[in-house]
């Protein structure tokens, strides 16, 4: 049975841990609010880009011609794994890796390469069979548009030059403050916008410049928007997962403190009773 001093030491340790986890929970909550605002700003912009592509495809008289739409026989694929730099965020990283590994297991007969966004995917995949051709770490859970553009430039150049035939993103989609979903989203080639023949939309447009030139100017922005949206959702999900994990850790620490305090009181009561019995026993011995 632990001594009173050992129990007191454990209580102090658990209380100190609870203060740390509470502070981390508050920091994650503050970061989550900012990340959620970025997601809410990015989603309407991405939806508007999709709408513009659909309208342009509807109004275009010829076939859409742009390298980002090129579909060719798949010999090599690139998987961009977006996770976090740090841990202490529950099962956030584990769920991303599980989703990525499931997708990788399905790619039989195809060469696959990894682009890791975050320190955790770098540490995870450097010990596995798939090569990491590029990595981007030390984000700190903050969206950096310049770094996002560098990732887009690297990926699009590899696709256009034929170094890879398909690029997919695996990340955590932010649905709400307490709900997230791991998804694999095809990045390149871009799926051609679907145009409904009976949509009733007027397609009598005059293009200046041509629709091909508009696509050439629009597609880089579209690719950047898609990457920025994925990063924003991943960072928001990371902060939400860390906030919940630290909240649960604080709750568990408080419960452990109560249990240890109860054990301390019981041990203290036992010690006092033992001392009283020794005093009474000594007094009785003196009387005898």
Which residues are catalytic, by number? Answer: 89
Rounded Cα distance, 13 and 257, in Å: 9
76-82, strands of its sheet edge to edge: 132-136, 111-117, 76-82, 166-176, 179-188
Please enumerate in sequence order all residues whose Cβ is within 8 A of that of 170, keeping only pairs 6 or more positions apart, or say none: 79, 80, 81, 82, 96, 99, 100, 103, 182, 183, 184, 185
Cα 78 → chain centroid: 19
Task: Tell me the C-alpha distance between 232 and 38, whole Å.
Answer: 6
- How many Å apart are CA 69 and CA 211, to the nearest integer? 14
Q: Which two tokens stand for residue 141?
A: 């859970």
Which candidate, 234, 236, 232, places its Cα nearest to that of 224? Answer: 232
């Amino acid at each position: 049975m632990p001594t009173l001093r050992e129990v007191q030491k454990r209580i102090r340790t658990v209380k100190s841990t609870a203060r740390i986890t509470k502070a981390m929970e508050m920091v994650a909550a503050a970061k989550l609010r900012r990340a959620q605002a970025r997601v809410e700003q990015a989603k309407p912009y991405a939806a508007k880009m999709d709408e513009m592509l659909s309208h342009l495809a509807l109004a275009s008289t010829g076939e859409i011609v742009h390298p980002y739409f090129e579909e060719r026989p798949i010999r090599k694929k690139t998987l961009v794994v977006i996770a976090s730099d740090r841990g202490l965020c529950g099962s956030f990283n584990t769920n991303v890796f599980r989703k990525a590994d499931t997708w990788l297991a399905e790619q039989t007969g195809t060469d696959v390469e990894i682009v890791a966004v975050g320190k955790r995917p770098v540490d995870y995949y450097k010990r596995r069979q798939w090569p990491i051709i590029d990595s981007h770490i030390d984000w700190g859970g903050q969206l950096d548009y310049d770094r996002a553009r560098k990732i887009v430039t690297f990926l699009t150049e590899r696709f256009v030059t034929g170094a890879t035939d398909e690029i997919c993103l695996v990340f955590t989609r932010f649905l709400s403050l307490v709900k997230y979903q791991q998804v694999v989203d095809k990045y390149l080639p871009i799926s051609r916008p679907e145009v409904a023949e009976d949509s009733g939309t007027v397609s009598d447009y005059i293009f200046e410049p041509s629709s091909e030139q508009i696509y050439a100017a629009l597609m880089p922005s579209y690719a950047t928007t898609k990457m920025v949206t994925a990063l924003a959702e991943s960072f928001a999900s990371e902060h939400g997962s860390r906030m919940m994990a630290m909240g649960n850790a604080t709750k568990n620490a408080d419960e452990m403190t109560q249990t240890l305090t109860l054990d301390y009181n019981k041990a203290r009561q036992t010690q006092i009773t033992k001392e009283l019995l020794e005093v009474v026993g000594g007094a009785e011995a003196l009387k005898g």
